[in-house]
Every structure is written in structure tokens, then in C-alpha cells.
Structure 1
Amino acid sequence: MDEDNSDYEKKESINEYTHLPIYSVNRLVLRQEDIAEHGGYQKQVQLNYADNVKKSCFNFNIVQFLLNLIPVLRWLPKYSLKQDLPGDLSAGITVAVMHIPQGMAYGLLAGVSPSSGLYMAFFPTLIYFLFGTSRHISVGTLSVISLMTLKVVQTYGTDVSGSHPNLNSTTEPTLMSINQVEHYTNIQVVTACAFMCGIHQILMSFFRLGSLAALLSEPLVNGFTTGAAVHVTVSQLKDLFGIEIPRHKGAFKIIYTILDWIPQIPNSNVTTIIMSGCVILFMVIMNEILKPRCSKMCKFPLPAELIAVVGGTLISSLLNLGTEHHVKLVGFIPMGLPSPELPPIKLLWAVSVDSIAIAIVSYTITISMALIFAKKQNYEVRPNQELLAMGLSNIVGGMFSCIPNATSLSRSLIQEQTGGRTQIASVVSSFLILIILLWIAPFFQMLPRCVLSGIIVVALKGMYTQALQLKRFHQECKIESLTWLVTFGAVVLVDVDIGLFFGLMTSLFAIYIKGWRSQCAMLGAINDTGIYVNLATHNKAVEVANIKIFQYIGAINFSSASSFKRSLYKNVGEIRPNTTELNGNVDGVLKKLQPHAVIVDLSCVSNIDMAACRAFAEIQTDFLISNTVMYLCGPNDRLVDAIQHAEHLSVGKFSVFPTIHDAVLYFQSSAADNV
């Protein structure tokens, strides 16, 4: 019975291969120069900077330039009032409802007035409408960015002459440095930070650094935002319990803050705790129970945050919580729009370094969200244009009391799910926020701060649940989980920006381990195929007689040339290098290699330089001493150009073949002729 099954499997295998086409090629053995001649190869001329400028000026088209610079000019004329406007109106109204509580909450989180968070839903949003390329993201406040901004505020802000008096009493003064005479309010620090973020992002756009976000891997961003959620939670403890907690800066500040919070718990304001508990319970019930059920009946999400804010304001006004129960209130919220004002020049220089991390993180989150929606809705997003749009949004926002902007995942999802088709939805949202700023904003002055803190803490659930992804990262690659752990640990224990730096270094190390670190293998032939595979992983492959085939994976340059030589000597058989490499050790005995040819497979080499070509020449010379020839095979055009350039400079003369099989057949023919 087993024999019958075996015969059946063999027949099935034969039948499977009989359906494949026959691969039959009958040609002469070709060298690389033959390929260049037959293929009509022409080396690409690399234009210098001056030539590129001339070419750009010659091909300059003012219309295309404006259409690319201001994308709204390209899509707005095609806007359909019938098909697009209804969805944009519904999405804009819904997002505006979300902007109100989130803007106020994250404004306070950044250390400034809630009105600054509301301004974020107006000024940056309109600028992004003009210059952005994503149709669905919602620009404005984000908890992580507000937290990173708060760190800068705590470093440079004094609030000696703040623009919001009622807010100043809750902020502990902190001088910039011992030698700094100027005192800057929190709002000045925030606007300076936003302005410098904009400058950094515009410079990044100018230098075409839109792909920079690729360096921030998913585990890094995941660990960073999860760690930042811990910071946000700890920062809200004082408002949730109605107590004063000293500020700490530097390493282990979260631990120090918790140690200061625990003894203060008996001094908590009971009314504040009850209010906080009710808000958190209300938000949990709404988010986990009522919202999912309502979403099945109506596409408009239940405005739980807005209900909590309006309800908290009404209760505070009716029960007079501020004066009678000593509950901390939001305080003064100015009516109308702020006047444009440039941040102090000295302060811009002071926050320039701190704003780099904020600029990169905000862009990374924004472009990630933009690419997700672009892929889902099948349209194009231009990363460098996104940098320009964000930079201009931040510069304009920095002149109108705004925090550095980013993209909110929750608002963007709602904008897309409620029918939003273009950034007209953001314009609708902006004008609704404008109405609130002009006529309704003072209504929220009686809002207890603990209500906003409760909303913030509940909103962090999504960031905390990201930690569950650690298991997936570990399954995909252990070094990915290491990146998450290092980033999260450094963010929580040290600080947000330091944690980002440690995470970035770990991520770069992971890239090196997975992609930049070179690998090598010895190849053998699969009989009667002309195909050469790794001998270590293919047990039916055989080594070609008198030939060693060495495959190198990675770049060969000045930093890796020596390791390339060591790997080659180790794998093909030891031969004494020149005396300079032996550092004067002349006791080595020259050993004649058994193979008569060494073929170096360059098909997996991305780049070589002059140091690599010198290494090839030295190896070739060493091999000739032992009557062994060396062939290079499978180089791409870039490598061929480098090899020819080296030959032109008399670095060496190399035998180059397009494939391994060409080199094998050439050597076998040459060896037969010499017999």
C-alpha cells in the first residue's frame, strides 16, 4: 500500500512538471563587455548641482509649480457639490464637536489656556486645507505632542506676565537658566515651539526628507506613544484629585511625581474626586457600551466628550463648585481670535533644539495616518508636500497662540467614517469652531479641570492597548520587541525626548542587523540546471570541481572591504595576505589553494567603491601566486561602472561575467584548453 502511494506521488510530481514550459537557451559564453556591446549599454551621465539647476530652470512651468505647491488648486475645481458636499458637511460638523473637548483638554495638557487648543482647530486646519495632500486627516491637537510641548514649557516658561491670568496661578515658575534674564510666559514658549517646528519641517521639505519617517519603525512609534501615555496619565493626577504636586524634571521624574502624589492623597478634594470618578465612569460607559450600539443605528458618533464638557460646565455653574467646593476651574477664556504676534527671537533660538523632536514625531504620526487613508481610498499623498503643509501650518499657528499641530487618529477616523471626502470637511469644522470662539467660548470658563482630565485619561485607552502588540513584535522579530522595550522604558523612566533618541538608536541598530550587516555563502550547482544555490541550505547541491563560488550580500566599501577579504579567505581556503595585513608576521606559510578558480558573486552587492576595487586587486594578486584565477560575476550597472572606473585608474584588471554559469563554463573551457 505504501509503495502504491509512493508511485502515485511520483506520478503526480511528474505530471506537475510536465505542465511547465521548457527553459532552453543556446548561446556562447558571454563576458560583461560582451553584454555591454550586445545590449547597447550607455553609462548614465550624472549631472552636477549646477547642471541640475539649469535643467530645472529650463523646464520650469509656473502653472505646474503653483499646482504642486498649492494642491487645493488642482482638486477644488473638480469638486462636486452633489457628490462630495453632503459627506463633507456631516464629517465637518462631527469633527468640530470632537475638536471642542479635545482642544480644551490638550491645551491644558500643554500648559496653556484651553483657548489655544481651540485655535488649533481653526488656523492650522485652514493652512493645511490649502497645502496638504491628504483628504481625510484631521489636523489639530494630539496628546503626545501636547505632552512634549509641556516639557518645553516647563523648561523655559515662567508665566510672570501670562496672557491668561487665571491660568498663571496654577503654573510653577521655572527660569530658563541662571544667566537668562528674560521671563517668558507659557503661551510665548508654546508659540515659539510651534514656530520653530514649522521652520524645521519646511527645511526638511526643502531637502526632500519626507522619507525620514521610515526611520521611525512601528515598534518605536508604538513603544514611544505607549510610554508617553504614562506621562500624560501621571500629569493629570493633580487635577483628578484636586491637589498640588511639585514638578520634577529629568530622569525618573514619573517615579518622583508618584512618590509625591501618594502622601498628598489624604489632602485630596473630595468633590473633585467624585467629579473625576463620575466623568471617567460616564466616558467608559459611553465608549464601551452606548457608542458601539449607536453606531449600528446612526453613522454620526455619540458626542460623549462634548456631553461631558457641557454637563460638567452646567453642574459647576449651578452648584458653584469653584467658590464653595474649591474645585479648580478652567478659568478665563478670551472671546474672539488672538492678534498675530511673532514669538521672541531669543526664545526661538532657545527652543530650536527641543522642537526638532516634536517636528519629527508630529510629522511621522501625520504621514502615517495620511498614507493609511490614501491606500484605503486609492489616492496619492506626497510626503515632502505634507512636510511643507505642516510647516506652514505651524508657522501660522505660532503667530496665533497655537500648539505644534499633528493628526489625531480618532478625529481622522471619524472624518472618514462619517462621509468626509475632501478637506472641505476641515473647513466646515473650522468655521464652526470660529463661531464658538467668537460667541460661545466664555461659557466654558466654569468647566472643572477634572472633567477635562477625566476625558484625557479615558482617551488614552487606545494608546495603552498598543502594548498588546509587543507579543506580535516578538513573534515577528525579537529585535523588534527589543526596540519597543528600550523605547518604552527610556520614555517612562528618563524622559520623552531622551526615550525617542534611545528608541531611534535601537531602531537604527535593528536596521543594521537586518539589512546593512553583510552576509556570505558558498554556492554549489543543482545538477543540469545552471542554477547555483547556498550549499549550507541545499543538501542536494554540489560543489563544482576545482571552483569555489563565493556569494557576498551587502555593500563593499572602505568600511567593509577588510571584512569582505577575511570572509573570502575563510570560506574558499586560507592563503597568506600581503605582509601589511599580517602586521609584519612573515612566519605564515603560503598554502596552495586546491581550487583553480574563485568566482565572486556580486549579484547581491548594492554598492562598491574604490576601496572595494583595491581589495579585489589585492585578492586577485594573492590568488595568482597560488595559480588560482578570480572572476567577478553578476554585477549591476552601478557596480560595472565602478569596476571600469577602477580599471581606468589602473587599480586592477578584472574578469567580469554577467552570470555565475558564464564564469563556470569559461573557466572549464580555459582549463580544458590548457590540458
Structure 2
Amino acid sequence: MSYALVANLPPIYGLYTGSFPLIIYGLLGTSRQLAVGPVAIVSLLVSHGLNAIAPAKLEDGTANPVFIKLAIASAFLSGCFQLALGLLKLGFLTSFLSHPVVSGFTSAAAIIIGLGQLKHVLGYSLSESNNTFVVIVDMLARLGEAHYPSILMGVGVMAFLMVFKKVPRLRKVPSAMLVVIIGILISWGARLDKSGFKICGTIPAGVPVPKAPELPSSGMGTLFSFVLISSMLGYMESIAVGLTYANKNGYAINPDQELVAFGVSNIVGSFFRCYPAAGGFGRSAVNANAGSRTQMAGIISGLLMLIVLSALTPLFYYLPKPVLGAIVIIAVSGLLDTHEPFHLYELEAWEELIAFCVTFFATLLFGAELGLAVGFGCSIIALLFQTSSPTYSVLGQVPGTHLYHDLKVMDAVVPVPGILIIRFDMDLWFANCNGFRDAVLHEVKLALHMVSETDKPRGELRRLVLDLSGVNRLDSSSMRTLKDIIVKVKSISPSTSVALAGVKKAVRRRLAREIALASYMGPGAHSILVAGKSRDQLQQYFSKSADASGRITRQQAISIAHELEKFSSSKVDEHTLEEGGSEALSFNEFYQLLKQLYGEKEDRIAMLYSNVHAAVEDRESLPPVNAEGPQEEQDQEEIVMSVVPEAGEINAEIVTKQQKHA
């Protein structure tokens, strides 16, 4: 009834809104404690937003029927909007409300609600400012107006409720119902309304007959703007309350289903003269303290409200308002989360602690609407900061294995001489790709012992391996960045080769379409290192037959290719080696011919490396390597690299399989 007055509507519309939507939500919603009905935020928006279309009161001070119709129509439109969002699966928007933000908002909202109900205990009205500190100053300045018998009653009720809350044996007793009954009896017997106590007074009886809401013929633009804002704010407040109790009771809520539930609740409610409903802090706290464990609690509450509307409203005539205020104050006191900021401080989670504090004080200073919006903004900023800050690891090899780990994490890991392996541990996208490029170039300069940009490389870096096993997707900006990294590494150290390792299937498909990057893709990090070593050995093998100028004849190239042929399932096509080009071949020309012979595909090149490695070691025979072999090795290495830290037995088993394959 109080929230209906805040919305500039007759009190009976608050009772309507607290019944029908509550029943529908109980059938469709996923929160077990959330009580749906009129709430302060939406009520304020109804008062301010719809007043721009039609005044709430007529000249004689009575309620304006046009304003009431607008409020009912806004419930229908809000329901349609929320239902559409739910069917489109847009409930993920609530994922941007982190727990510290929700905790900060609910803690501040508990203070605001408590102060709002304190006026009933004090016996005089308080400032309606959104600034909580202004309300507190106004309250203290006017303490002389307080009705001390009301204060005594309110404090007594709060003490009574606290005893029932703290004593385990009394927790299941419906203490709120007891104080309401006792309060009504005392007020009726002592005629407290004659002694300065504020009571509820006359409440109209009867359940409304269903009637279709009437949409206005003018002002639809303003009405739609109001519906958009009130729907989202009401939903976000409801989700904040729902998440609070879901976390406390160890269950999950479905944001998309919540949107559907609120949408249908408001649509059905509009046919029974309800204005927009949402999940309220105060009633949800009372509901939870009463022992609500399932959605049936809401359905039963809604049905009881209909019974009250039908026949029992005269019984509440003598209900003292200090009793109602005290019940809500005790109920919302449990929402004050004093543990969360200290917990975040102990964890040194400074970003989340800042988000908690900013949301808490913004809600106290600017009201629930802006406070929740600021909290939402804090969550978005924190998310962007985390995803745009590159997370990477420089890997080293576990001696005697094919395993590679972060050099900063495992003491047993050693760097691979002349090799720099960098693993990126998150998806690459336009917001973090520049940071990744800067990090890679920084590590390259460290490996080359370059103190400044103008220094010449003093160290040796034969190969840079970018391990992309932690990257699930990349966009066009990140692909451009990868090309930029390759170009800049070559400009810093022309002798350094670059390879992309551990590329997953989805990323591989995208990279394969980029000619400038496709040739740099390789299998797992270990296979790429073996490949680099084999290429060096091939060059040594080549040098044995080369003349003083470092070249061999085309006939010598054919002989070497035939020598490698016995290690491959492919036959050498001499026409491929004899066609075009000069008679004397450099190593790079010879190497390109071999790549042309075995194919440009990664598995064929990997097979070539294995064959060269075998030939250099003067092995006479080796079983043919099928095309699937290197891919299996890659998959096993990726599994090993992802499982590594604690699974010693699994690692040993996989390495054994690799050794058997070799």
C-alpha cells in the first residue's frame, strides 16, 4: 500500500500488484525466495515518468483515471518487452553483475529501505531525497517531532523479532504474523489511533474483474521510454535480489526464464489492474525469514492476498504502521553484507573491492536506480580491463620429456637454448591483440639481450614459437597483429624463424584462409622444435655435398631426394626436380623443392622433417609414416600440455605412446 502511494496511485492498486503477479511468477520463476509485487524503484518511476503524460491527481485531489490507465498499460507493455527479451535469450546481460557489485548494491539498498520504514517508527515523514545522507541529516534535525510511544512500540517489535531470529527453537515460529495480530489487538483495544499512532485505516475490499488494458491514443513515445527504463531497472533489481538469495541458499537461477516469468506476470497482472511489478527487497526478506524454500511460498502468498482482498481487509484497519515498519527493518537487516569487503581485502582483490565500494556509495548518494547503473558499469569496466590485459606464459621444457610449462611456475623447467616459446592463455581479439604484440616483442628483446630499441641483438634466438593452444577464437584484428609480430621479429632479428604451435581446429580454419599466416602453422610445440632441429640437420646434410659456393647440382638434389624416398610413402617425381631453375641450387632452393615434392600441407612437411632426421642419423630403414601420424602426435601433445601440473601418471602414459609412435 505504501508503494502504491509512492506511485501516486490509490493504496488498493498496491494490493492488486502484490497478488496476481506473485502467483504467476511462482508458476514460472526460478527464484525460491523472491517476492514479486510493487517496489520502490518502479513506483517512483511510475510517479515521475507517467506524470509527464497525464497528472496523477485531478483538481479536487482525487486520483486521475487517465493516470491509472497509463499505469496499467505500462504494466502490459513492460511485460511484452520483458517476454521478448526472455524468448530472445538476452538474460545473459545479468552476467555482467558481479558478486561484489550485487553485494554492494543490496547492502546499500537495505540501508535505504530501513530508513524509508523508519518514518513509521518515528511517527513523522522524512525527506524523499535520493541522497541517503540528506535523509539522515533531515531525520536527526527533526527528532523533536518524534512520537515516542510509536518509537517504543517499534523498538519493542524489533526486539521481539530479534529474539525469535536468534533463538534456534523459535526460528520456525511465524513471528511477523504474531506481532501483526498482537499489534492489531492492542491497537483496537486501546484505540491507539486516538493517541497519535498512525494506523492503516480503511482498505477497499473485493477482487478485481479481469479487463483488457487500454493503451493511450497519445504520448506513446514517452510511455515507451518509461517502459524501457522501468522494465530493465525492475528486472535488474529483481535479479540482484534473486542472486543474493540464490547464493545464500546454494542454487542457481535462470536469467532468461526470469525474464519470461516477469513478462508473463506483468501481462497477466495488467488485466487485473496491476501496475508494473518486480522483485522487492523488503517482501523477499520477509519471505526468506519466514522459511520460504520453494516457489510455492509465493503462490500461497498470492492466494492468501486474494482472500484478504475478498473478505479480510477490514481487519487491518487498526494495524499500527510502526509494527509494519519494524518488521521490514528487521527483515532487510540480513541483506547487509559486512563480511564481503573484508573478504575482498584479505584476498587483495582490489578491483572487486573498488567495485563493491563504488556501487555501495553510489547507491547511497544517488538512489537505487543510478547506484545499480553505476554497479553495472563497474562490472563492464572490470570485464574489459581483464580481457584487454594480455595473459601469457614463457615456456620451458621439463628435462627428459616432451612437456613444456611456465618458467615462473615450475622450478624443474629449463629454457630451450636459442628457442623462445610464448603461450597466450586467452582468446585473441581487437581489445587485447596490441597488448599481446607488445608482450611478445618485449620477450623477444629480452631473449636477444636488447636493452633499448636502438640496441643490436647480443643474444641468439633461432626460433620464436607462439603457442596458441589456449586460443579458441581470433578476429581479423588479431590476425593482422600476428602478421605484424612476424614482420617486426624479422626486422629485429632476421635469422629468427617464427612458428605458430598448438593451433586449434576453429583457429586453424581461419588462419588457413590467410596466406601470409598459413605457412607458419605447425603441430605441437615439441614437434616444431624437432622440425627446426631437423631443418638444421638437413642443412648440415646438404653441406656435405655442396661446393665451395654452398650449392649443389640438380643431379645431386635428385640423389638426395631418392635417398630420402625410402623413409616416405611418397615416390619422387624426377620431373618435379628437373623442371626449370638453375643447375646449381642453394639450400633454400633445394629446401623449397623438397617442400614441393612432399606437399605444402603441414602433415607432409612434418613427415619430411622426420625423414630427414632419420637420414642424418644414417638409419637404414624406417616404417612408412602415414598422414595421420603427426596429427595424432599433435593432439597428444596438446592434451599433455593442458593436463600437465598434477597428473604424473597420465603424462608418463602419453609420453610412452609418443615414444612407441616414434
Partner residue in 2 for 1:474: 345
> Of 216, 226, 235, which aligns to 1:351?
226
Partner residue in 2 for 1:670: 535
User: Does 1:270 find its partner at 2:270?
Assistant: no
Q: 1:356 to 1:335 in 2, by over 3 A?
A: same
Partner residue in 1 for 2:329: 457
Partner residue in 2 for 1:47: none
Where do residues 345-384 of structure 1 align in structure 2 (5 Å cutoff)? 345=216, 346=219, 348-352=223-227, 353-366=229-242, 369=245, 382-384=254-256
Contact 1:524/1:544, CA 8 A, preserved across alignment:
yes
Which residue identity is paired with 1:358?
A: G
Q: Secondary structure at the match of 2:197?
A: coil
Contact 1:548/1:595, CA 8 A, preserved across alignment:
yes
Which residue identity is paired with 2:179?
A: A
* Alpha-carbon shift at residue 227 of structure 1 (Å): 0.2
Q: 1:449 to 1:603 in 2, by over 3 A?
A: same
Q: Which runs of 5+ in 2 are unaligned?
A: 541-662
- Describe the superposition over 1:119-148 as per-residue Cα deviations: whole angstroms up to 9, x where unpaired: 3453123323544466x455434xxx7232
How many Å separate the matches in 1 of 2:101 and 2:196? 42
Q: 1:225 to 1:551 in 2, by over 3 A?
A: same
How many Å separate the matches in 2 of 1:367 and 1:247? 28
How many Å separate the matches in 2 of 1:543 and 1:203? 56
* Alpha-carbon shift at residue 259 of structure 1 (Å): 2.1
User: Does 1:611 find its partner at 2:463?
Assistant: no
* Alpha-carbon shift at residue 663 of structure 1 (Å): 0.9
User: Does 1:309 find its partner at 2:180?
Assistant: yes
* Alpha-carbon shift at residue 222 of structure 1 (Å): 1.1
> Of 374, 384, 389, which aligns to 1:517?
389
- Describe the superposition over 1:448-484 as per-residue Cα deviations: whole angstroms up to 9, x where unpaired: 22221111111122012x2223222333423222221
Q: Secondary structure at the match of 1:550?
A: strand
User: Does 1:282 find its partner at 2:160?
Assistant: yes
* Alpha-carbon shift at residue 599 of structure 1 (Å): 0.4
Contact 2:106/2:241, CA 8 A, preserved across alignment:
no
Q: 1:563 to 1:468 in 2, by over 3 A?
A: closer
How many Å separate the matches in 1 of 2:399 and 2:513? 37
User: Does 1:149 find its partner at 2:149?
Assistant: no
How many Å separate the matches in 2 of 1:611 and 1:245? 56
Contact 1:601/1:634, CA 8 A, preserved across alignment:
yes
Partner residue in 1 for 2:93: 212
User: Does 1:401 find its partner at 2:268?
Assistant: no
Where do residues 325-344 of structure 1 align in structure 2 (5 Å cutoff)? 325-339=195-209, 340=211, 342=213
Q: 1:614 to 1:592 in 2, by over 3 A?
A: farther
User: Does 1:620 find its partner at 2:486?
Assistant: yes
Partner residue in 2 for 1:640: 508
Q: Secondary structure at the match of 1:566?
A: helix
* Alpha-carbon shift at residue 492 of structure 1 (Å): 0.7
Q: 1:488 to 1:624 in 2, by over 3 A?
A: closer
Aligned residues: 519
* Alpha-carbon shift at residue 160 of structure 1 (Å): 1.6
Q: Could you tell me the TM-score, scaled by structure 1's length?
A: 0.69
Which residue identity is paired with 1:313?
A: I
* Alpha-carbon shift at residue 490 of structure 1 (Å): 0.8
Q: 1:190 to 1:462 in 2, by over 3 A?
A: farther
How many Å separate the matches in 1 of 2:499 and 2:382? 33
* Alpha-carbon shift at residue 221 of structure 1 (Å): 1.0
> Of 345, 361, 364, which aligns to 1:492?
364
> Of 442, 461, 467, which aligns to 1:601?
467
Contact 1:394/1:404, CA 8 A, preserved across alignment:
yes
- Describe the superposition over 1:148-169 as per-residue Cα deviations: whole angstroms up to 9, x where unpaired: 234325534564259996xx8x
Contact 1:116/1:403, CA 8 A, preserved across alignment:
no
Where do residues 411-426 of structure 1 align in structure 2 (5 Å cutoff)? 411=287, 426=298
Partner residue in 2 for 1:48: none
- Describe the superposition over 1:584-620 as per-residue Cα deviations: whole angstroms up to 9, x where unpaired: xxx9577587211110011122322223223323333
Q: Could you tell me the TM-score, scaled by structure 2's length?
A: 0.70
How many Å separate the matches in 2 of 1:293 and 1:110? 40
Q: 1:402 to 1:315 in 2, by over 3 A?
A: farther
Which residue identity is paired with 2:101?
A: L
Q: Secondary structure at the match of 1:523?
A: strand
How large is the RMSD of aligned CA atoms in angstroms?
3.5
Q: 1:164 to 1:449 in 2, by over 3 A?
A: farther
How many Å separate the matches in 2 of 1:138 and 1:615? 48
How many Å separate the matches in 1 of 2:156 and 2:112? 23
> Of 393, 406, 409, which aligns to 1:537?
409
Which residue identity is paired with 1:541?
A: V
Which residue identity is paired with 1:365?
A: V
How many Å separate the matches in 2 of 1:120 and 1:481? 37
Contact 2:465/2:499, CA 8 A, preserved across alignment:
yes
Q: Which runs of 5+ in 1 are unaligned?
A: 1-103, 169-181, 296-300, 577-586
- Describe the superposition over 1:325-354 as per-residue Cα deviations: whole angstroms up to 9, x where unpaired: 233222331101234463764463352224
Q: Secondary structure at the match of 1:460?
A: helix
User: Does 1:572 find its partner at 2:444?
Assistant: yes
Partner residue in 2 for 1:660: 525
Q: Secondary structure at the match of 1:630?
A: strand
Q: 1:403 to 1:557 in 2, by over 3 A?
A: closer
How many Å separate the matches in 1 of 2:127 and 2:248? 41
How many Å separate the matches in 2 of 1:413 and 1:631? 61
Contact 2:397/2:403, CA 8 A, preserved across alignment:
yes
When structure 1 is superposed on structure 2, of 218-227 and 614-623 the one drifting more is 614-623
Which residue identity is paired with 2:162?
A: V
* Alpha-carbon shift at residue 555 of structure 1 (Å): 2.9
Which residue identity is paired with 1:640?
A: R
Partner residue in 1 for 2:21: 124
Identical positions, percent: 25
With CA pairs under 8 Å and 6+ residues apart, which has the higher RCO, 1 or 2?
Answer: 1
Contact 2:421/2:465, CA 8 A, preserved across alignment:
yes
Contact 1:610/1:642, CA 8 A, preserved across alignment:
no
How many Å separate the matches in 2 of 1:205 and 1:503? 22
How many Å separate the matches in 2 of 1:437 and 1:335? 5
